Structure formats: structure tokens, C-alpha cells
Structure 1
């Protein structure tokens, strides 16, 4: 029997600083067979209104799908002679520690790594399938949301080898993963359905029958010549006659001769479903893969295995020595290049191919082969979509048309700096006066310590009890009124967790106890509130599958907004335990990836409900609008989230978890539908230990200000150890620089408004990798953090290395225009080359398209603000 084994690593005091790579099933190899009596050597099948599937039997058989407008460009193709559907039954092992997760493959009971195609059939809307037709479809699996007939169905069998014919070694199993293979072959029916969803999207579904064991080894063919005999021995299923839904009838039994022990073992396994499915198809050696959500280390993932699981990004993520130290102190806390708050099972390629998975099962995209892609799904079925587009922008538009796009941001949040600080009422008023002296354009004060602050092992942390601490913020409502009178909003902080507050001196409500009494917290296996370790304290998590939890938390938000708050950070959402018990009863591993979307949905619903109740007031004051921003996410998060930030980067220059990673996360998330994103100015995570120190330097802070002046939102953060970090208010130089780049940010507000509107309509990000507009320039394909575009009209080449005063700017091939340097006015006409450009502090390398309306308006705004 397949089981789930979960190991908690929360409280280990010392850990391996170099944790081992998780054991995982590698690429599965096998063979493809087909029935030459039912399949012609070549055939084109039309389905929907715009797509075709081509079958040919050359080289062992191959399937390709095309848009009818481009019959020579395949959107998806199988690998000749190789299976595109495989499956297994395996144990799952999960290690968990404080928001970090590792999913492993354990004992493998069986692998069906060979596939046969019995029939490819076009299904028309009013087809009547009689009892005599050889077509079976699982109950409840016929698509309810199909838009355009005909559909296309592929049916057949998947099956394993045996010890005798030595097919198991061909499965490519890792020697470290035990395989339980005792001789009997295994087979199961499969169904693959393609249907057109809209003009440029194909839905695909893969469904498997239960594994069934034939103890006569000759029933597992390993040559095409033996296929027909094998097919005759797999006696047909009985069927029910419903045109919309075919259901299983009981399988007619095989004639077997075996011991009672073997029979009972086979019956036990036959009662289970597969829990691993592989979907395999072709790729090209020079094909680049972009997307996969918010990724911080790479832009192109060809040659890599990309796991899709929401979790903490880690501290260091491979940068040393901090990753070593983080792993030593807390199990796998360092993370690696794969760990991220907001993954997405979506990609697009340099060949303009794009696929995404639906559902929330854990998956791994294996791109290690030059000629193929293999997606491993931890489940018993696969659903997803194949997208058609002729450019990266078209593919993003197609993707976000399905998963959703963000609403337009209110103008107030993009008009000036979001001043992130802490310290209480008097400190806020003091900094406000300082900023007035330097004439800093301010949109809002973001006061995350509005709930009170406490000291823990990692630095300054908040009391997770979502009410204002009136001791720390004496005169809270008057402060908000005074700021509002100057058109400055106040933003706060919350998350879906609640801490024990017995030690908090001035608590008015105990939200943890309230939620516990309402029975709306996530439960453990004993039915008690699941206390989740988080850094130095444990918390209870709201069960967001419980309707009462939604209602209750919206009341918390309402009380916050009633005081005059107009925005908040909706933090966390990535740490749902995978052995939790939920109100909905759903599998917690799948719910884990869905949880950040539910968290975003609750916040978004509250915003929309509040706005509908204040519609009249909004007409009087269009800026009377709410905004929240968050870090955790999954595929559909752009639909629910209003604004994102990239989480907790190190206060460093490093690649995997410093200022460079902030650029990569910005651009990868933009390709994946996260149109509005930004990072903390200066980074967040500082370390002040005797043997290792990471403290925010003044140079890093100034360069991060320059970088973030060209993102959607310009927001500061003091970090987890404010006293160790240089702050925007530290001295005259930092305040002057902050004022200068708040004005630079303000100068392109007119263009930001255009791009935000475009994002809400088309899904295109504000900050863009050059691949989006120059996909034919191969040099652009290899860029990561070096430079990026604002829309299509502004090119930014930030300084991301300590002590550097020049950069290499690359001017892409594709437009007939030249680029103008905003500081010197120099024009760069030649395309396809790198040029060294001076970039001293205060003058980052920024260019506008020569002669463009956007560029000239930006330059004029800079002059008006006395920046030029």
C-alpha cells in the first residue's frame, strides 16, 4: 500500500549544513506500441474549430498538435517511439521544518513505463456510442467546460515489464529508490482527451484506470509483433450508453494461476490508484524555458528539474557562507535555487511553445534531456492547457486570460514612496518631518509594527494579534487623520496566523483564543489546533477552507480599515503543514499549494466588498481605495492578488538571495503573470552573529533605491535587524538619495499608469525581460539580472556589484530605433552589441527609445523635478 511519511525537523539543534539532494524518480524511459489495425500509418484529425492532431507511424509512432493557421509549427509533439503517458505507485516522504519542505519518492511498488495506443477518435457533440463500440471513458471525467466540438480522445493501455524480460531497468529508476518488482506485469487503461477551450488554447486531460495485474508474464509485450496477442488477452470492458459520460463497469477477470498470498497482494494493489503520472513530450536542444512562477536564481531552466511547491525561499539559497550557517542552525533553512514562495506550473519557450498544469498537485518539470520534457505529477490524473501564440507577449496574454489578471492599482500607491518604518507614533512624526525637509514625494507610511513588537532570536518581530498596539502607537487615529490631511495613506501588516499572546502586556483581544473557540484553526491528526513552529514561536493557522474563518477574518480587516488604514501587507501563506486536517477534507499536500490563493482571495473579496459599500465615496474621491500586497502565491494568484513583493532577500550583493536575485524574481514572475511586483529597498534579512555578519551597507542601500525606482512600487523596509542596517533616514546622504530617486520614480508615473492599465487588460508585466520584446535576439535569451525593460520604452541597466561605477549595456536587435542615455543624452545606434557605460552612484544606466513620446515625456518630467 502506498503511504505518506512525514518527518518533522523543527526542533533539531544542529543539522547537516550540506543537506542531501532529495531522492526522486528520474526520467522514465519506455516504449510506445500501437494497433496497426485501428490506426492508419498517417492521419490528420481536426478538433475544435482551430486545431489539428497529426499521427504518423514512422520511427515507432508520433503525435503532433498544430494550430490550423500554422500547420508546420507544432505546439506539442510526442517523442517518436516513446510513451507520452506513464504511471507508478510509490511511497511519498515529506520532511518539514518551519516552512521549508522536501518531497521525496520512497519505495516504488510498480512502474508502468510502456504505452500502447489502441485508438484515436474524434468525438462530435451528438455522437451516440452504442454497446458495440470500443470506447470507454471514466465516470465524471467528460469535460463540463468544453467550448467547441469535436473533441479528440486517445485510448490505450500502459503496462510494465517483468524481471524475465528485464524491462524494469529501462524505466531509469535510481538505485537509491527501492523498487518492488516480483515478476507479475501490470497494466491499466488510460484516456487522453484534447478539447479546444478558446481560439488559442487546448485543454488536455489524462486519466488512468486502476492498475491490474496479469500474472502470466507473456501478457506484457516488449515487441510490436506481440502487441496484437496482448490486446486480445485484455478482454473488453462493459459500457454504459451515455453520450456525455461513460462509466466503468466491472472488469472481466483474467484467468490466472497463483498462490492465495499473491492473489491477495494483487487485489490490495488493484484497489489503489496510481499516485505518480508522467506526461512526456519533445523539446529541442536549443529551446529556452522561461516562467515557473517567481524564480530567483535562473531565467532559463533548460537542463534543470524544477519542483513546483510553495514554501519559504530560504536564507542564502546556495550563496555561501550564509546557506551553510542557516542549514546548520535550522534544518534546510538555507534553501536552494529551487525554493520559492510563489512557483507556478507554467512555462513558455523560445520556440513559442507554452503549457501549464491545472490543479494543485505537487509536480516536477524535468528539462534535463535535450530532446524532451517530462512532467511528473503526484496524483492519479493530469489536467492542463497548451497555448498558442506567436510572441512571448501573446502567450502571456493567452495564459492570463485563463488564470486571471490583477485589477488596476489605485493611483495613490504609485504616486510616491511607500515609507516602511517602525518605532511608534513619535518616530513616525519625526521621520515625516525629515522627509518634508528633503521634499520627498510620499504615497504612504507602511507601519508593520502597528500590532506591537517583540525581540526574538532572529531580531525584531511582531505580535501576531491583529489589533493596534495603543501603547506603541499612542494617538493612532489622530496620526492617521493628520497624514490623510496631507494625502498620505497608512498601510499595516497581517498574515493568516495567530500567536499566543499571554505575555503581551496591553492586549485587548486574544484573537488566537477567539479563533480556537470558533473552531476555525487548522487541526492536527488529533483534532487539536495545529501549532506551527515559526522562527522563535509557534502559531495557529486559519483554516481558509472554512467559511466561518473567511467571515471572521474579514471582520478583523474591517476594524483595521475603519480606523483609516488603506493598505496592508498580507504576509505568509506558504507554510500549511502537509499532514494537517482541513475543514474541507481535501488532501493537505494539494491544499498546501492552494492555500496562498485562498489567502489572496479572502483579502481581495474584502477589498471588493468594501469598495462596493463605498461606491459613492469613491466617486467623490477616486483615491479612497484599498490595496494589499503579498509574497506567497501559485498559478492563479495574479487573479486574486493586487500587488506582490518578493519576500525576504538578504542584505547583500549575492546572486541567489541578494540584490541580483531581486531582479531575477521580478522578471521571472512577470513572465508568469505576476504583473505588479517589487522588492524591499535594501533587502530584509541581516545576520549579526559572532562568526558571520550580513549588514546592509550604505552603498547597497543606495543602489537598491536606484533599482526600485524602476519597479511598480517604491517601498522601503528596515529589515529584521534595523539597528544593524543602514536606513534611508540614517544621514544626509541617504535622505538626499532617497528623495532624488523618489522623484525619479515619480517622473515616469504617467507611463506607469499606462502599463498598469495594460496589465489589467492583457496581463503584461510592468517590468519585463528583454525576451518579451526581442525573442529573436539570441543574446537576450541568456540575460538574467543584467538589465530589463519598463514596458517597451525604457531600458534599465542597474549596478548590482559592490564598488562598480560602470556597467555593460546591451542594445538588442529588433527595433530600428536607437537608445538615448537619460543623463548624458548620448545616443546608441548600433544594435546587437554591448557598450560600457559609466554609472556612478546617483546616475544608474537608464535609456529611453530615441524620439519616443514616452521617452521625451520622461525626460521632461525629470527636468521639471530638477533631476536633470
Structure 2
């Protein structure tokens, strides 16, 4: 394959503030033909024990995959008469600047957009023996791939050709002679562009009861100055005759070397050089059907959108960007640093996985760059930047099942240590004295604290853009004198110390108090990534350059684990494992693998090394019979790919702006939580208050007190409740800035702790099933069409809490949507007010309803399912958290199982009626149905009292 064409943009001082979207190949359309003498009209082919492929020759031919438990429900299907496998060869162009990347399609050499099917065949175990006796078995499949070992039989193989012919071309004929003295006649039309073709094989095999694998491979490319003709392939081409392509004198992909005499013309030489340059395809297209109203969720941690129908979604690990389309910050970011503003699609942790509202799900395997093109209303096209493609199709009848089936194979995180989910993780900097001072303040406010996260433990240095950390992972005892005593004092109060590291190292010649020079050690060991000259690749990062660990090197992991061991020996029990998204695409790794694949795989390797250390530490503690739960380690990271949650223990969402904006502010933090949760990232959270502040003459982003408190409210209902001072602490309001911020921080740290009992249950469920702690409503209400369009407006915690956060400046009420398809009654946690909806005539509630909810600062709109044991909010009373008195509390009616009613009502336009008989009668009926809470509001009243308004309702329990 030709090398990547890379343009470095690191050192441009002025850049285009509106960079164009990376150019890609257009949506590829092609026709499908088949050989009716070998392919039946209609047939169901078995795949493994639980799947089948259904083929129909109607409407030009199409196929679908289904599970035998529901054979009429299609899990994946093609478009009648249209190609579902295509391929191309094109130059790949990359623009790169400090962790931001844009991959584009350059010059296109050839596209094989049409497809024929020559054979659909089920293979059994006994068929494997035939390959040894017949090397041409299945048109040479076993020369291309010997991957049937260990598979669950029967498997299914579809074979045929992909080619670039045009239907309307009328060939003329000429003859070529091969080295075997056999002549081959082919149809040719005199035209400027040649035709290309290659044999393909599509293998389908069952992986487990709910997953079927697919793999696409190609043979060597053949070309002619005419379209490829296929023998009796379809009635569409009745006049075409069998021909043979001239094979090139080179081994391409999976076929054996074969040579034929070349044509003696300059054009042939040019085409030979073109094919030899690419040595095969480097683009694979898989096209299949989609329903117009089908919604697509997933694709990893996405920050701008929850649903992706109508979009073209690239899957590439990189910096998420500063602004991501929010203005004016994106303009400014792009102006001073090329593409650093990002856009709606840029993310630290993408994944080539999705699920849809029609309960269809698919993911790609491998680490190549890919693009999911969902812009057409009736089809999907996946473009894989590789010579082959493989992935899996999932079976499931609900989003919960699909996530369970996905994570069953990919992996699930271990349960988090209990200490980190027991209180606030206080993120701060400043040294020993600053930490002790803030600790005293928090103790005065009785704040439940899990840990202090001290990212500046390594010391700071002054640069042109301000204070930055020394990336040399050892404690700076000048900044933290008495480090060991500080750690011990905190641990004595069940407060753990957390630190910071990343896979990059900086030369420390100017750091006088260093004990070790980790950069020099790693450089001498040869475990840093190399440039094209074989030298250590010094990667630009803000105002200094760094070396990056080559995690594919067999010595790198053990060396870095020793660095972590020294950190943990000092009493540290957690750390941020930052970065992982910035491996340059022109870097050379020890493994020698494809540059883009190495780039996407790097965050998984980074997580794996950290996790291996945690597991080794736990094993050591177990051997020493140390069962103290406070000794359990945890790390959190932001970069990831499809399988990162198998290794990483906890994620955080990276660097949001300290703003209310949609694409990179507080709203995006909610979207990131929910999209990642639907992609298998079970444990995730954001920095309270956001991270990125800006202090420019014309553009200022500073964290306000209101934003900080609203973010506290939001994160009190996430997996981890952790603060961050931000990149410019002095510009941001902090939790310790004044009495009010301290009071609110104490309040919501207590709220967070109040539902710890449920959080422990959800953490265990995530480790066992892969379900996220924070959930989009689609996960539990997939049949409620209203929830399909929700993004940041609201979310579930587990299945029992409904949270509607305030995400706009100055707002004191929110519109909540209450799903009631399961007959739910939702109770407001601050007032006890209940929300439900009468059943329709069928006795069901498919659609919920909306209501405006008061949510002044300190009282986010949070609801719990009535009747759930999780809904016992007496724990709030335990922490002295006061209830909210709403302006219009007339609609509250709380009914214990037995008691005496004292109610005041009034007829609409009438006078008060105490102890109304009709009301009492309705209550009796309700209690007889074992309903303990009944709400009357917004027109949802029992018919018996529909002309009344409840003013007050009190019960005295018997």
C-alpha cells in the first residue's frame, strides 16, 4: 500500500478558523448480479446452530440474516438488486496537529462498485478435508484464508466478483496469450479508463448464541481495457461472454503468483504501476438496508449527538477539540492551532459499534479507520480503510440485551472500589499547605470525602502559556513537603490520595530536584516511539516536546509498571491515566503495524498496562492477606476504543468548556455520558464545573458560580463525584470560593452519598452485565418514540431514578418527560409530589407525558419510581437535606397504606369542601389496588373528582 500522505500543521501561527470537513469518497452505488445456474431462487441456509441466511432472487437478488428464535425478524439485510460488497484503492491523506487529525480520501485509482454472486455455499466440518485434495476448492478460498479452524459449523461462504464495469458498455473482442499458450478472449471497448475486478469471499459464522461473525476478503486485482464479463451471471447482461483477466506479475493479497504476457502499450504500463503501487484494495464498502425511521445510537463517547441517522460518522481516536462547533471559541481555537477546535464528530473514545431503534446492532473488529455513512434514508454504508473487513452482527430484542451481548464478548470493567463511590473526590493543586487548608474547610462543612486527587504531585513549571506539570512521574517534594505524612493523615480518615500520569515523558534537564530522569531511562531502553529515521520521536505538546512510550514494545509495560509501583508504595490508591489519543500517524512502533491501526489501538494498550498493574497489586495484597477495601486501586482515563472498557476501570469525559453551550459545555457532558453508556462504557463521569477556561482579550470563558453549582447537581447523580479546578484556576469559581459554594458542595456530596446503596448495586450490575450506571431512557423505554429524540434533557440512573438537570443559565424550571409504559408512578424526591398517567382503553400506557417542574438552585428535578426500595429517600433526612416547598403544592397527595384522611378541596370556581366523599371513595379504590401514592395534577384526575382541585391532603398513620 502507498504510505500515508501526511501534512504536519504543528507550527502554523495563523490557521483557517473554518477548516473544511475532511473529503471522503461519495456514497458508492453498484448493481448486483448472480449466476442462476448455481444460486437458487429462494433458499434458507443454516449458519451454526442458531442463525440462518435467507436468499431471494426476486427484485434483482437480496439476502438477510436472522436468528432462529425469530426467523422472520431480519438482523441484517441487503438492498434488492444492489451490491452489498464493493472495494476501491485510493490515496489516504492526513492532516495532523497536536493530537487533532483529519483523514481524507485523495486520488482514487480504481473503484469496483458492482458485485456478482457466483455461489452461496454452506460448509460442514467434513468439507475441510476437501481443501487438501483440491487447491481450487471454493474458487481458491483457502489460498486466501485458512481461518475455518475452531469455527462452529456449519459456516456459510458467498463468493463472486467485485468489478467496475458499466451496464451500457458494448464490448469488442480481442485475444491475449498467457505463458501457458492458452488464449483468453475478452470483451473490450476502446475507452480511456480500464476495468478492474477481483474475487471476493464473504464468510458468515456463528460466534455464540447471539452473535454472528462476518469477514470479507479479496483475491488479487485484475484489470483490462474493458469491463469484466461474467458468464451467464444475470439476464441483465445476456450478450456478455466468458473472459479471463490478465493477471499481474506480483502477489496481491491472498492468491498465488501467476504471470501473463503484458500488453506492449504505455497505458498498460501505467495501469501496472498503479496496481503495483496499491497491491490491492485499501477501501472496503459494506452496504445494507435501513428503515427510514430507524434511529442509530452508540459509536462510542459522542458529545454533540445521541442519534446519528443522516450523518457520516468517522471512527478515529483523537482530541475532542476546544469548542467543537460552539462559537466563538471554536473560531479562536482553529485560528491559533490547526483544527484544534474540533467538530461534532471528534472524540477521545469512538467505537465502531451501534444499536438501532429497530433492535439491530453491528460492530467492526480490528482497529482500522472506518466511516459509517448514514446519510441515506434507506441504507447504511460502512467504509473501512483496509484491504479486508470483519465484524459481528448481534441478536437481541431490547437495548439491554444488545449491550449485554456486546459486552459479553468485548469485555466488562471490574467493580469499582467502594471507597471511590462513597463521597467526593476533591481535585485540587497547590501543595501540602493548600490541601490541608481546604481539608479543614471541608471538615467544618461535614463533607463526605472519598479522596484528594492531586494532579500537580509531580511539580509545576512556568511556560509561555502558564503553569504546566512536569511529566516525570515521581513526587516533587518541594511542592509537597511531607508528602508521606499528608498521605498517611488522609488515609487515617479513610480518605485516599489520587495522582496523575500519562504515557508521555519530558526531558528533565532543568528540573533540579528530580530523583529520576524517566525520559532518559526510557530513551536508553529504546521504548519510546520512533520517527522515520529511527530516532526518538519528539512530539510537540503546547510549549514543549515529549517522548511517547511505545506500548507495543515488550519492555515498555513492565518498565512503566515499576514506575506505578513506586507511586503506589507511597500510599497512593488511584490516578488519572491521561491522554492516549495522540500517537502521531507517522510514528514507527516496535510492532510495525499499520499506523492508523496502531493509533486507534494505543488507548487500549494504555488501559491494559494500567489494569495489569492493578490486578498484579491486588494479587500481591491477597497473598499477604490484606483485605482492606481502602487498599483497592483505581485509575481513570479519557481515551478509548471499542474494547477499552475491558481494561479501563473508570472513564472521565475529558476537557469540557466551562460553559452552558451544547457541543462542548455542560450539555455535552450529559450526551457523552449517555452515548458512551449505550456503547458499553459502563463507568463514566465529567469534571464538576468543566475544565477549559479562556482568558483572551475578546473571548472569555470563566466558570460562574451558577454553572459550578448546576454541575454539582448533575454529577451528584453520576458514577463518581469529582471536582477539577480547571486549566486556569484563578479564572474559575471553585467549590471553596465562598460560603455558598462550600454549602452547596457539602449538600450535593451528601446527596451523592445518600444513594450509595443503589450505586453499589449498579456498579456490581455493570461488572456482571455491562449496563451503564447512567442511562439514556431508550435503554428501558425503547417502544416510547418520544424518548428516541431525547439527548441531554434528562436521563436515568439505573432504572429507578429519573434526573432532569438544569443546563441553561438563569433557568429555575425544567420540562420533564415521564415515561409510563410500564405503569410507573414517579415521585419527586424533594417534595413527594407524584406523577402518573391513567391507563388508556387498552389498559396500557405506551406514551408518557410532560410537565413543568420547579428546579431552583439546590433542587434539581429528580424523581424516583414509587414503590421501589431504591426510592426510600429517608437517607436524605439522615444527612439533614431539607425538602423543597414548591409554590404550587396543591397537587400533592401522599397516602400510607392505612390512615385517616384530612383533605381540603374546592370545586373549580366553587368553595372548599373538606373530606369530600367522592375523593374518599376513589382513595378507597386506589388503596384496594395496593397503590400507595396517587397524584392529581394537570388534568390527570379520577373521573369522580375531575371537577375538584386538591388544596391539601394529610394523613395520620394508624
TM-score of the pair, normalised by structure 2: 0.86
Mapped pair 1:208 → 2:218: yes
Which structure has more RCO (C-alpha within 8 Å, separation ≥ 6)? 1
- Contact 1:460/1:721 (<8 A) preserved: no
1:767-846 matches, within 5 Å, as: 767-830=774-837, 832-846=848-862
Cα distance in structure 2, aligned partners of 1:57 and 1:63: 9
Q: Residue 173 of structure 1 corresponds to which residue in structure 2?
A: none
Partner SS state of residue 139, structure 2:
coil
Cα distance in structure 1, aligned partners of 2:405 and 2:477: 48
Name which of 180, 183, 193 aligns with 1:183: 193
Deviation per residue, 1:182-228 (Å, 9 max, x gap): 42211000000000000000000000112111234473799933657
Q: Residue 450 of structure 2 corresponds to which residue in structure 1?
A: 443
- Contact 1:162/1:185 (<8 A) preserved: no
Going from structure 1 to structure 2, the CA distance change for 1:800 and 1:764 (only over 3 Å counts) comes to: same
Partner SS state of residue 585, structure 1:
coil
Deviation per residue, 1:386-423 (Å, 9 max, x gap): 00000000000000011100000110000000000000
Q: Residue 319 of structure 2 corresponds to which residue in structure 1?
A: 312
Offset, 1:249:
3.7
Deviation per residue, 1:562-588 (Å, 9 max, x gap): 100000000000000001111111111
Name which of 262, 276, 294 aligns with 2:268: 262
- Contact 1:292/1:345 (<8 A) preserved: yes
Offset, 1:866:
1.2
- Contact 1:51/1:196 (<8 A) preserved: yes
Q: Residue 324 of structure 1 corresponds to which residue in structure 2?
A: 331
1:485-500 matches, within 5 Å, as: 485-500=492-507
Partner SS state of residue 361, structure 1:
coil
Deviation per residue, 1:403-448 (Å, 9 max, x gap): 1000001100000000000000000010000000000000000000
Deviates more, 1:265-274 or 1:226-235: 226-235
1:384-423 matches, within 5 Å, as: 384-423=391-430
Name which of 622, 632, 642 aligns with 1:635: 642
Deviates more, 1:714-723 or 1:36-45: 36-45
- Contact 1:91/1:108 (<8 A) preserved: yes
Going from structure 1 to structure 2, the CA distance change for 1:325 and 1:236 (only over 3 Å counts) comes to: closer
Cα distance in structure 1, aligned partners of 2:574 and 2:163: 55
Mapped pair 1:285 → 2:292: yes
Going from structure 1 to structure 2, the CA distance change for 1:716 and 1:79 (only over 3 Å counts) comes to: same
Cα distance in structure 1, aligned partners of 2:344 and 2:465: 23
Going from structure 1 to structure 2, the CA distance change for 1:382 and 1:594 (only over 3 Å counts) comes to: same
Cα distance in structure 2, aligned partners of 1:366 and 1:113: 16
Cα distance in structure 2, aligned partners of 1:553 and 1:230: 64
Cα distance in structure 1, aligned partners of 2:573 and 2:528: 27
- Contact 2:144/2:219 (<8 A) preserved: no
Cα distance in structure 1, aligned partners of 2:423 and 2:137: 68
Q: Residue 680 of structure 1 corresponds to which residue in structure 2?
A: 687
Q: Residue 11 of structure 1 corresponds to which residue in structure 2?
A: 11
Name which of 874, 877, 887 aligns with 1:860: 874
Deviates more, 1:141-150 or 1:207-216: 141-150
Cα distance in structure 1, aligned partners of 2:605 and 2:519: 20
Deviation per residue, 1:798-856 (Å, 9 max, x gap): 00000000000000142112100001100001261110000000000000001111112
Cα distance in structure 2, aligned partners of 1:546 and 1:252: 40
Mapped pair 1:657 → 2:664: yes
Going from structure 1 to structure 2, the CA distance change for 1:641 and 1:182 (only over 3 Å counts) comes to: farther
Partner SS state of residue 10, structure 2:
coil
- Contact 2:550/2:590 (<8 A) preserved: yes
Deviation per residue, 1:746-771 (Å, 9 max, x gap): 01100000000000000000000000
Q: Residue 160 of structure 2 corresponds to which residue in structure 1?
A: 156
Cα distance in structure 2, aligned partners of 1:559 and 1:135: 58
Q: Residue 595 of structure 2 corresponds to which residue in structure 1?
A: 588
Cα distance in structure 2, aligned partners of 1:231 and 1:773: 57
Mapped pair 1:479 → 2:489: no
Cα distance in structure 1, aligned partners of 2:245 and 2:170: 25
Q: Residue 174 of structure 2 corresponds to which residue in structure 1?
A: none
Offset, 1:461:
2.0
1:42-53 matches, within 5 Å, as: 42-53=42-53
Q: Residue 279 of structure 2 corresponds to which residue in structure 1?
A: 272
- Contact 2:90/2:109 (<8 A) preserved: yes
1:662-673 matches, within 5 Å, as: 662-673=669-680
Name which of 589, 610, 616 aligns with 1:603: 610
1:31-430 matches, within 5 Å, as: 31-127=31-127, 128-129=129-130, 131=134, 134-139=138-143, 141-143=145-147, 146-161=150-165, 165=169, 182-217=192-227, 219=229, 224-225=234-235, 232-234=242-244, 248-251=255-258, 253=260, 257-259=263-265, 262-263=268-269, 265-266=271-272, 269=275, 272-430=279-437
- Stretches of structure 1 that go unaligned for 5 or more consecutive residues are 168-180, 238-245
- Contact 1:163/1:183 (<8 A) preserved: no
Cα distance in structure 1, aligned partners of 2:496 and 2:170: 69
Q: Residue 849 of structure 1 corresponds to which residue in structure 2?
A: 865
- Contact 2:496/2:630 (<8 A) preserved: no
Q: What is the count of residue pairs matched by the alignment? A: 844
Cα distance in structure 1, aligned partners of 2:145 and 2:633: 41
Going from structure 1 to structure 2, the CA distance change for 1:157 and 1:252 (only over 3 Å counts) comes to: farther
- Contact 2:116/2:233 (<8 A) preserved: no
- Stretches of structure 2 that go unaligned for 5 or more consecutive residues are 172-190, 248-252, 838-846, 883-958
- Contact 1:163/1:182 (<8 A) preserved: no
Deviation per residue, 1:768-806 (Å, 9 max, x gap): 000000000000000000000000000000000000000
Cα distance in structure 2, aligned partners of 1:714 and 1:707: 9
Cα distance in structure 2, aligned partners of 1:218 and 1:537: 56
Cα distance in structure 1, aligned partners of 2:208 and 2:66: 14
Partner SS state of residue 232, structure 1:
coil
- Contact 1:304/1:368 (<8 A) preserved: yes
Offset, 1:589:
1.1
Q: Residue 470 of structure 1 corresponds to which residue in structure 2?
A: 477
Cα distance in structure 2, aligned partners of 1:56 and 1:707: 52
TM-score of the pair, normalised by structure 1: 0.95
Cα distance in structure 2, aligned partners of 1:2 and 1:866: 67
Cα distance in structure 2, aligned partners of 1:152 and 1:231: 29
Cα distance in structure 1, aligned partners of 2:52 and 2:374: 26
Going from structure 1 to structure 2, the CA distance change for 1:236 and 1:199 (only over 3 Å counts) comes to: farther
Cα distance in structure 1, aligned partners of 2:355 and 2:36: 35
Deviates more, 1:620-629 or 1:360-369: 620-629
- Contact 2:109/2:274 (<8 A) preserved: no
Going from structure 1 to structure 2, the CA distance change for 1:140 and 1:30 (only over 3 Å counts) comes to: closer
Partner SS state of residue 442, structure 2:
helix
- Contact 1:458/1:720 (<8 A) preserved: no
- Contact 2:118/2:233 (<8 A) preserved: no
Q: Residue 954 of structure 2 corresponds to which residue in structure 1?
A: none
Offset, 1:860:
1.3
- Contact 2:35/2:233 (<8 A) preserved: no
Q: Residue 522 of structure 1 corresponds to which residue in structure 2?
A: 529
Going from structure 1 to structure 2, the CA distance change for 1:519 and 1:250 (only over 3 Å counts) comes to: closer
Going from structure 1 to structure 2, the CA distance change for 1:617 and 1:698 (only over 3 Å counts) comes to: farther
- Contact 1:190/1:206 (<8 A) preserved: yes
Task: From the CA coordinates, give the structure whose radius of gyration is larger.
Answer: 2
Cα distance in structure 2, aligned partners of 1:85 and 1:580: 32
Offset, 1:479:
0.5
Partner SS state of residue 65, structure 1:
strand
Cα distance in structure 2, aligned partners of 1:545 and 1:230: 52
> What root-mean-square deviation, in Å, do the aligned CA atoms of Structure 1 and Structure 2 show?
2.1
Name which of 612, 622, 633 aligns with 2:629: 622
